[in-house]
Amino acid sequence: GAVVSQHPSWVICKSGTSVKIECRSLDFQATTMFWYRQFPKQSLMLMATSNEGSKATYEQGVEKDKFLINHASLTLSTLTVTSAHPEDSSFYICSARKGWEYFGPGTRLTVT
């Protein structure tokens, strides 16, 4: 199989705080993981490519200082939303590459 998990599945935080989301490949090693953002009833927007042991590559328009990505091991990538604001509320989905991309179940972030 190729199972990807995310934690937490949902989180509510106050404006100005930081939130960390974890993405794990459970039964395989992934040198490359991806982070997407999905707005209601819309498609996925690629935010960044996370590479194990090196800096993430961000898509144009994505603030790297706001969305911190760390890929410390071959099975774990984290996305930290710093100084969160209500407009950061969204559904965040990660994926890991094992030949093809396999997606996690997503994390719903609500900033109040």
Please name the residues in contact with 30: beta carbons below 8 A apart, sequence gap of 6 or more.
52, 74, 75, 96, 97, 98
Closest separation in Å from C-beta 102 to another protein:
7
Nearer to another protein, 82 or 108 (CB): 108
Retrieve residue 30's tokens: 């992934």
**Rounded-to-integer distance, Cα 32 and Cα 93, Å:** 14
Nearer to another protein, 28 or 103 (CB): 103
Closest separation in Å from C-beta 49 to another protein:
7
**Which spans of this chain sit near another protein (rule: CB under 8 A)?**
4, 6, 34, 41-44, 46, 49, 93, 95, 100-106, 108
Nearer to another protein, 36 or 111 (CB): 36
Which among 54, 51, 57, 110 has a CA at the least distance from the CA of 85? 110
Give the other-Cβ count within 10 Å of 99's Cβ. 7
Closest separation in Å from C-beta 16 to another protein:
27
